Amino acid sequence: MNDDGYHVPVLLNETIDLLINKEIVDHVVVDGTLGGGGYSEAICQRFESFGVKNYLLICIDKDENAIRYSSERLKNFSGNIIFEKGNFADLKMILSKHKIQNVTGITLDLGLSSYQLEKEDGFSFMRNTTLDMRADKDNNLTAAEILNNYSENELTEIFENYGEIGNAERLSNAIVSYRKSNQFSTTENLTEVIDSEYSIDKKNRIKFLAKIFQALRIEVNGELNDLNKILNDSSELLRKSGRIAIVTYHSLEDRIVKNYFKEKSFKEKKSKYGNSSTESNSPEFSLVNKKVITPGYKEISENPRSRSAKLRVAEKL
């Protein structure tokens, strides 16, 4: 199976170019979203091209399928890799387990893999599968559990906050009405409720369903909480001049990354009119790319799923 069969890495060269700081020796890099191993393979190949042999790559993914697939793909670099089935938000604990104090790079590709969309249950409304959506099958919460058991107010909050859906009360009410006599078990159950409640043309239907599925997936997997946690931990875990590179795919993720990098790289200027108690902040990061990086026309034409991707990179001071 090649990249096309599992996942096509997005902004691959741009990410690796900015992630690896050539001024650092003895690299310890974390690929927190291993997926099909595209980023990890490129990282290893880049080190090999530099003649660097003494490096360590820590590959993390919640999905057992990703670990299994990528372990085989990356077997030629196995002496330099640690595979961990787990959550990148638990990076501090994972590093402690291996007696590693800090790292020189962290990269995250926050998009769904092609494998998840095409093979795993619940992630896509284009296929009728069980309403699962769990990246980690050891977790108990599924999309079906949410739809069948959350209160109308809880559902509204999820769709407003994680899907940015206007008048989310209408959607939540339709879901609650359906489950009075039925149970949600498949993606088709959900799309049928949407189609019966809303009259939307094909293009806007796809956009609307994408927002609904995004909101449920974020709740199932705790995605925004995980992102906030690793960002907050990154300052402690990154070595001086180490870098963190994150590819986001929707405005909620990008806003969190953008605001965190901006806040941690901002140096407050002492006003010449203020008193001596107004001290300058010490920034923790510098922005490697001040302007967000997005895919070019060629990449989008070859991989349409890349069109919403945004890359931001920061360096630890």
pLDDT-based confidence at residue 281 (cuts at 50, 70, 90) = confident
Q: What CA–CA distance (Å, rounded) separates 84 from 170?
A: 42
Kindly report the pTM of this predicted structure.
0.90
Q: Give pLDDT, residue 167.
A: 95
Residue 278 has pLDDT above 60, yes or no: no
pLDDT digits (tens, 9 = 90+) for 282-312: 899 999 998 999 999 999 999 998 999 999 9
Per-residue pLDDT, averaged over 13-23, amounts to 96
Q: What is the DSSP letter of 283?
A: -
Asked whether the predicted pLDDT for residue 159 surpasses 90, the reply is: yes
Instruction: Return the pLDDT at 188.
Output: 96
Which conformational region is residue 136 in: left (phi greater than 0), alpha (psi within -120 to 50 degrees), or beta?
beta
pLDDT band at 280 (very low <50, low <70, confident <90, very high): very low
Task: Say if residue 194 is exposed, middle or buried (CB neighbours under 10 Å; 0-12, 13-18, 19+).
Answer: middle
Q: What average pLDDT does range 15-42 have in this prediction?
A: 95
In the predicted model, what is the mean pLDDT of residues 55-76?
A: 95
Other beta carbons within 10 Å of 297: 7
Q: Model confidence at 4, in pLDDT bands (50, 70, 90)?
A: very low
Name all domains of the chain by residue range, CATH numbers in brackets.
3-115+224-316 (3.40.50.150), 120-222 (1.10.150.170)
Structure tokens at 184: 């949600």
165-217 pLDDT, tens per residue? Answer: 999 999 999 999 999 999 999 999 999 999 999 999 999 999 999 999 999 99
Q: What is the pLDDT of residue 289?
A: 95
| CA distance linking residue 105 with residue 316, whole number of Å | 10
Pick left, alpha or beta for residue 133 (phi over 0 → left; psi -120 to 50 → alpha; otherwise beta): left
Half-sphere exposure of 298 (CA within 13 A, CB side): 1
